[in-house]
Amino acid sequence: MILQPAALALVLIALLVSGLGIYAGYYGVRILKRWDPASGSEGQLELERRTYLISTIMNYVLGFELMSLFLFIYTADDLHTLFTGAMCAAGTLAVNSFGYPALLLKIVNFLLAGVWLIVNHVDNRGYDYPLIKVKYELLNVVAPLLLLEAVLLVAYFAGIKPDIITSCCGSLFSHEGGGFSGDLAALPHRPMQIAFFSGMALTAVSGVWFYLKGRGGYFFSSFAFATFLIAIASVLSFICLYFYELPTHHCPFCLLQAGYGYVGYVLYATLSGGAVAGLGVGVLMPFRQVGSLVRIIPVTQRRLASVTLVCYLLFTVIVVWKMIFSALRLG
């Protein structure tokens, strides 16, 4: 096992997050079965005190979960010097079979944790906890995934040996490399450019419409998430090429390094932040008419839509700026 401080911190965070997530999920099941806001019984009062405690704990826990995604990526990149053949985080994650599954699950948990925090924030602003069952049903989905993430992280770091020879990003993200990453790298750049800018345009138009009119929230949320997926594929297909100024280097992880101004962190933070906010708009749509939230949810949704628009705009501006001023020209 690698006894590197950031790796140990990630393992400890994962164990803490998963442990508290399971604890919260256990009480969430009790709350789902026994919650009755019309009752003034001692049991109901105990549940209300318990849900306030759990909400507070999970706010911090899932906040750590959000930050740990970027700590994991940073750690993977920082460790690449230990392995023969690795040039960046791509090689570090490939040292055993747990690296990439752990990364993918952390991305999924990032999105789910962000959505849960949004639902919890809105629920706590309602005087009668109107979304209590919704957020605990969601928590019971998130908690097992947090536990699985902890298992994968422990297995990944425990299985790392410094003498391992791993693959470089050039072979992992190449047209000839095969696999899912190779397929994404092989996507033709012209159609992907059209898909990327079309997705950003549709998200922007639907977001502005929703912000001004308060209608079309489901469309905006769907466009925001679809654009998130398209943008990830676009990074591998053509965006990273303009930063590297090489037509054959499709690695999404080298962007995280100092040689490229750590621009990858900005790109991925804006993209993931915009996706979470966009998903939050859609998740809140069914509850706009709930009595205690009639005035709260529309305001919250407009703020979330603004976050998505600003994040995606920043992402697009960086991409366009590099496409214009890069020495590379794709035919």
- Asked if 8 contacts 21 with a C-beta cutoff of 8 angstroms, the reply is no
pLDDT for 199 equals 98
The predicted-structure confidence for 207-223, as pLDDT tens digits, reads as follows 999 999 999 999 999 99
pLDDT for 152 beyond 70: yes
- Asked if 207 contacts 309 with a C-beta cutoff of 8 angstroms, the reply is yes
The predicted-structure confidence for 156-175, as pLDDT tens digits, reads as follows 999 888 777 888 887 888 77
* Upper half-sphere CA count for residue 309 (Cβ side, 13 Å): 18
pLDDT > 90: what percent of the chain? 69
The mean pLDDT value for 185-189 works out to 88
Tokens 């849900």 map to which residue?
51
Tokens 């959505």 map to which residue?
115
Q: How far is CA 120 from CA 60, 189, 212, 253, in A?
A: 12, 40, 25, 33
The mean pLDDT value for 271-290 works out to 97
pLDDT for 227 equals 98
Phi, psi of 163 (to 5 degrees): -90, 10
pLDDT for 1 equals 61
CA 16 centroid distance within chain: 19
111: confidence class by pLDDT, cuts 50, 70, 90: very high
pTM for the whole structure: 0.94
- Asked if 254 contacts 213 with a C-beta cutoff of 8 angstroms, the reply is no
Q: How far is CA 299 from CA 207, 222, 244, 286, 309, in A?
A: 14, 20, 41, 15, 15
- Angstrom distance (rounded) from CA 266 to CA 274: 12
pLDDT for 89 equals 93
